[in-house]
């Protein structure tokens, strides 16, 4: 510091430049010796200054006056927010201030001080997960997921909003803005470190500490503990639910009919739910400040005189020790009959089954003739129910040879929208397959988008998977997402044909192909039921001399406003349908199936986490299929009707349309003559010709009498040749579609 004299005689004290610490809002305290602007130089003043941060009024000034005769009076200009009349200022904006000082003798002088500004914010941390969850439903990430969200409240920062953020991880994305105007960012992964830069609208910047988001671990998920049976006919059962790590959650418990049994905000490690009647229940948990949710199921049985139940496992007992060992699979989707009463049960994908029974002595029989129970004894298998649960572990041998079966279901097909097809390949036999190649051939109006699992190759409309060996009774599921062309015409049929080829001997290849078809529609009911007959000749008639099976497909879609945690479908089979011939088909998601009293089939999609159509339209769909035979003999005029009820979580059931087929005796195939379509030669050996005098040809499907599609061709013009080499000798149905959408069917014999 030194003194120099200016031309006008005013003395000025000059100090070295002040020094700032980056990212810290406190200026190093420097003594600023001010300039006296008045004529009297006997008063001197030095200032201690803290800079203002990011254009905010948070600077401070302390004036230290010497000379004259104290006490002093102080007058600041411009007038500050606070400190007028005092030697210190608080809440000062950056800028220039004049201080006029007068001593007790009237001596007066004016001094100037500058409050500088720093454009560096202090260190900041992470935002608020609870704030993000309150507005978006996302918050703390789930274990193993990247679904965390964080709101960045403006009050965290000393700058001037709005703020911009730059994250060290480019996968972090802007999600939305809260009603308060704060940005919400999404994509935080459990266990990862993050940091960011923040910028206000005037260029002030800040740097965050590195932070790791909290995470909802699987140890905080709820599990089923002790289940106490209900006494016969009473609602006095109970269940204990628990978690290993505390994380509050909202719980909703529903019965198998979808009725809400209990709602609770859980804030402890254990909870006992009481007052339960016998039955199956689902408990759904939404964990606080997260988008994480889980669901679990439990069953309360009945105990006491006059009520009971049976459950068990049907498995391949290779070593005949009555114990399901590793490598001894459960036998899926086999129908069991309990007598007396001819009550039917069905095994699930893992061979397990369950059903309620009154007290008494019973026998159990497996209706599949290729499955022979041998342990603990040959069937019929006797067992007793006496006010409790009877458990049967049934070891069986199987004479069923390797047999790959393909089934598929699909959702709605609308021009310009996604169209999803779900297929499954099942080894129906007890012997393992060779390696398997699964091929999907898409209709020209369907363009490939994605598939799960990832295919081996995609070439145009052909999608191929190279699958490993399928063990006994093993199931492989695939999903194909396509886009329906905007050129697709309403009323036309699109299809996805799946063919499984086993690299080894196979006793029956007749069920290795399956075509999932859908009629292109505009507006549609997302929850419906459709019937397909074996011959595929009619959507309204069951042809007594040609049809054998009816394939039913039940579609559902979550068109609500939030995720569906559990979907339950119930289907009451009419007496005209032979429940003992039930055969489970493909489904879009994992499920359990059971036969309930009064001929009810129930499919339960627990923890399906089906998004609503507003959030993800393509993934909001689901479907399940089954096939069944009518009770024989079928009389002409019999109406085979069927409908289903769909329960989404705790909502009332949605009833599908009623699918109706009228049994009839076919009167001939005059439609082909009316359309001017001819097939020749008939019988054919290597190829036949199809010609028309009407509208141009569009598509041809060759279908075996058991309902299998064996060939499909896209046709053009008025005439086309069709190759039948490689087909087994026999009679086939030729389905021909012209460019006007008319479909005709003719028989073709192959020699």
For 288-328, what is each residue's pLDDT tens digit? 999 999 999 999 887 666 667 788 999 999 888 999 998 89
Reported in sequence order, the residue ranges of 674-742 that DSSP labels E, i.e. its strands, are 677-680, 687-692, 697-704, 709-714, 719-723, 730-738
Query: What percentage of the chain exceeds 70 in pLDDT?
Result: 91
Token pair belonging to 417:
């929208």
- The answer to whether residues 184 and 197 touch, using CB atoms and an 8 Å cutoff, is no
246 C-beta neighbours (distance < 10 Å), count? 12
Highest mean pLDDT among 16-25, 436-445, 490-499: 436-445
Most distant CA pair in the chain: distance in Å? 131
Of 194-198, 396-400, 670-674, the poorest mean pLDDT is in 670-674
pLDDT higher than threshold 90 for residue 3? no
- Given pLDDT bands bounded at 50, 70 and 90, which one contains residue 4? very low
pLDDT of residue 12: 30
H or E, element range at 268: none
pLDDT higher than threshold 50 for residue 204? yes
Distance from CA of residue 582 to its chain's centroid? 29
For 85-102, what is each residue's pLDDT tens digit? 999 998 898 899 999 999
Exposure of 603 by Cβ count < 10 A (0-12 exposed, 13-18 middle, 19+ buried)? buried
CATH top class, domain 670-750: mainly beta
pLDDT higher than threshold 60 for residue 674? no
The arithmetic mean of pLDDT across residues 640-664, rounded, is 87
Exposure of 70 by Cβ count < 10 A (0-12 exposed, 13-18 middle, 19+ buried)? exposed
2-118 belongs to CATH 2.60.40 = yes
Q: How far apart are CA 368 and CA 173, in angstroms?
A: 55
- Given pLDDT bands bounded at 50, 70 and 90, which one contains residue 33? very low
- CATH number, span 218-303: 2.60.40.1220
308-398 belongs to CATH 3.40.190.10 = no
Of 169-173, 219-223, 736-740, the poorest mean pLDDT is in 736-740
For 576-617, what is each residue's pLDDT tens digit? 999 999 999 999 999 999 998 789 999 999 889 999 988 888
Domain ranges of the chain: 2-118, 129-207, 218-303, 308-398, 525-666, 670-750
- The answer to whether residues 571 and 699 touch, using CB atoms and an 8 Å cutoff, is no
pLDDT of residue 422: 95
pLDDT of residue 30: 36
pLDDT of residue 118: 86
3.20.20.70, 3.40.630.30, 2.60.40.740, 2.40.160.50: CATH of 525-666 = 2.60.40.740
pLDDT of residue 5: 29
pLDDT higher than threshold 70 for residue 105? yes
pLDDT of residue 524: 65
């Amino acid at each position: 510091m030194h003194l120099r004299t200016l031309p006008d005689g005013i003395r000025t004290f000059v100090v070295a430049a002040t020094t700032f610490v980056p990212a810290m809002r406190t200026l190093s305290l420097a003594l600023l010796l001010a300039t006296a602007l008045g004529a009297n130089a006997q008063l001197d003043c030095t200032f201690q200054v803290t800079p203002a941060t990011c254009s905010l009024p948070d600077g401070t000034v302390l004036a230290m006056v010497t000379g004259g005769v104290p006490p002093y009076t102080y007058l600041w200009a411009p007038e500050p927010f606070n400190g007028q009349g005092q030697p210190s200022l608080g809440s000062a904006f950056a800028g220039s201030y004049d201080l006029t000082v007068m001593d007790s003798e009237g001596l007066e002088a004016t001094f100037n001080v500058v409050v500088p500004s720093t454009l560096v914010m202090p260190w900041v941390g992470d935002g608020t997960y609870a704030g993000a969850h309150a507005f978006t439903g996302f918050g703390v990430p789930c274990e193993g997921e990247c679904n965390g969200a964080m709101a960045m409240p403006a009050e965290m920062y000393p700058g001037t909003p709005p703020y911009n953020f730059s994250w060290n991880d480019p996968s972090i994305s802007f999600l939305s803005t809260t009603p308060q105007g704060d940005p919400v960012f999404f994509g935080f992964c459990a266990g990862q470190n993050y940091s960011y830069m923040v910028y206000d609208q005037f260029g002030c910047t800040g740097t965050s500490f590195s932070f790791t988001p909290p995470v909802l671990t699987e140890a905080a998920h709820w599990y089923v503990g002790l289940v106490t049976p209900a006494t016969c006919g009473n609602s006095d059962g109970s269940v204990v639910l628990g978690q290993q790590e505390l994380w509050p959650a909202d719980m909703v418990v529903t019965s198998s009919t979808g009725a809400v049994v209990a709602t609770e905000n859980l804030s402890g490690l254990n909870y006992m739910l009481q007052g339960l009647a016998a039955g199956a229940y689902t408990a759904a948990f939404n964990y606080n400040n997260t988008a994480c949710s889980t669901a679990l199921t439990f069953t309360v049985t009945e105990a006491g005189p006059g009520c009971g139940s049976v459950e068990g496992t049907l498995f391949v007992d290779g070593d005949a020790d009555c114990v399901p060992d590793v490598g001894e699979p459960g036998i899926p989707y086999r129908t069991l009959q309990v007598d007396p009463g001819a009550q039917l049960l069905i095994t699930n994908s893992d061979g397990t089954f369950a059903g309620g029974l009154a007290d008494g002595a019973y026998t159990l029989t497996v209706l599949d003739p290729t499955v022979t129970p041998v342990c603990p004894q040959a069937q019929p298998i006797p067992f007793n129910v006496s006010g409790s649960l009877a458990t049967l572990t049934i070891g069986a041998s199987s004479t069923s040879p390797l047999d790959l079966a393909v089934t598929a279901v699909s959702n709605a097909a609308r021009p310009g929208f996604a169209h999803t097809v779900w297929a499954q390949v099942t080894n129906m036999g007890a012997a393992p397959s060779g390696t398997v190649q699964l091929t999907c051939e898409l209709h020209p109006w369907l363009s490939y988008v994605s598939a799960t699992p990832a295919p081996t190759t995609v070439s145009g409309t052909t999608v191929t998977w190279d699958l490993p060996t399928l063990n006994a009774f093993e199931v492989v599921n695939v999903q194909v997402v396509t886009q329906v062309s905007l050129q697709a015409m309403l009323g036309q049929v699109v299809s996805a044909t799946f063919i499984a080829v086993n690299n080894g001997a196979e006793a029956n290849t007749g069920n290795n192909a399956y075509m999932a078809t859908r009629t292109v529609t505009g507006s549609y009911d997302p929850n419906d039921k459709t019937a397909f007959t074996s011959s595929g000749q009619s959507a309204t008639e069951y042809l007594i001399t040609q049809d054998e099976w009816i394939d039913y497909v039940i579609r559902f879609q979550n068109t609500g406003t939030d995720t569906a945690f559990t979907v339950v479908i119930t289907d009451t089979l009419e007496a005209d349908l032979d429940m003992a011939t039930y055969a489970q088909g493909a489904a879009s998601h994992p499920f359990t199936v059971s036969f309930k009293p009064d001929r009810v089939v129930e499919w339960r999609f627990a923890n399906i986490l089906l998004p609503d159509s507003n959030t993800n339209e393509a993934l909001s769909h689901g479907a399940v299929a089954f096939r069944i035979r009518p009770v024989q003999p079928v009389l002409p005029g019999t109406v085979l009707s069927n409908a289903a009820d769909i329960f989404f979580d705790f909502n009332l059931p949605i009833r599908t349309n009623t699918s109706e087929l009228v049994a009839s005796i076919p009167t001939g195939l005059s439609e082909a003559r009316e359309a001017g379509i001819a097939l020749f030669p008939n019988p054919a050996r290597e190829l036949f010709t199809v010609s028309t005098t009407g509208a141009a040809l569009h598509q041809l499907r060759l279908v075996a009498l058991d309902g299998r599609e064996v060939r499909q061709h896209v046709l053009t013009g008025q005439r086309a040749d069709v190759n039948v080499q490689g087909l087994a000798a026999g009679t086939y149905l030729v389905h021909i579609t012209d460019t006007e959408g008319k479909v005709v069917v003719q028989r073709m014999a192959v020699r």
